[in-house]
Amino acid sequence: MSLLSKLMFWRTDAPRVSVLRLSGVIASGGSPLRKNLNYDSLEPVIKKAFLDKKQSAVILCINSPGGSPVQSALIGKRLRQLADKNKIPIIAFCEDVAASGGYWLASCADEIYADESSIIGSIGVISAGFGFTEAISKLGIERRVYTSGESKSVLDPFKKESPTDVARLRGLQNDIHEHFIAHVKSRRGKKLNEEEPLFTGLFWTGKKAKKLGLIDGIGAMQDVLTEKFGDNVKIKQITQKKGLFSVAGSSSRLGAAISYELIEHLEHRHLWARFGL
């Protein structure tokens, strides 16, 4: 389709919506081969999604197991800022999973829809790691760490776990959890049905999530949009520009990128695996 044709297509009097896909782990940075969801990468496309002031809605297609609470909050604030400023509603459609930070993004919408089998919720905070205290002693390794500040080596995986360190971590988690709960309550309000605890980190299918008020309905994007805006609704996909990954003349750089990608892939697989995906 030519540029002129695209412009004429988008100028039609039929109802219009912009669709922004939010798929992946929410985290700052990223690798040359894998894009994370974060404010820096999404801000240009979020802004682009709200350019048409006469459109009927901005659509979020969400498929995310979560990740960084900070990046989730930053993305969500930007979405709400532009939605409120331009008086354009946001409708979220959850695919396989909208959990943890993924649900944070979904709850920024004015309405949330999902499939009956979608995984929804996980409103909680998690920190995971390993302890290697016995491993290095068996290998005959002596570790030397020097700090100026008694708390500089908090939660060091090569030292025995300290109750004080764990208590401090739990305090941080509780602060973040309270922020998450406040966000969900402010967005969902009286829609929430707390017939069972909603904020323990548990997650549910879309069918159950609807009963609990975490989502508004069950339905696929095309069906819901047709029902809301009619058969002639025009859908515009908002996409990010793809950068080029150049490795010419640098085999070491390529090797580093592949190693980084492998580590990040394992971390991402762990997040998805929590939800059976």
- To which H or E segment does residue 60 belong? strand 57-64
- Tell me what pLDDT residue 272 has: 58
Task: Name the pTM for this structure.
Answer: 0.81
Beta bridge partners of 21: 61
Q: Distances from the Cα of 213 to the Cαs of 13, 100, 112, in angstroms?
A: 35, 16, 10
Question: pLDDT tens for residues 68-101?
Answer: 999 999 999 999 999 999 999 999 999 999 999 9
Residues 107/183, Cβ–Cβ less than 8 Å: yes
3-state secondary structure of 143: coil
User: How are beta strands 57-64 and 111-114 bridged, if at all?
Assistant: unpaired
Of residues 15 and 243, which shows the higher confidence score?
15
Residues 71/37, Cβ–Cβ less than 8 Å: yes
Residues 93/111, Cβ–Cβ less than 8 Å: no
Cβ atoms within 10 A of the Cβ of 169, count? 14
Measured N-to-C along each axis, helices 69-86 and 163-188 cross at an angle, to the nearest 10 degrees, of: 20
CA distance 272 to 277: 5
Question: pLDDT tens for residues 10-47?
Answer: 456 789 999 999 999 999 876 555 678 999 999 999 99
Q: Which of 112, 80, 92 is nearest to 17 (CA)?
A: 92
Question: pLDDT tens for residues 153-202?
Answer: 777 777 777 788 788 888 988 999 999 999 999 999 999 998 889 999 99
- Tell me what pLDDT residue 175 has: 94
Domains of the chain, first to last: 3-126+173-245 (3.90.226.10)
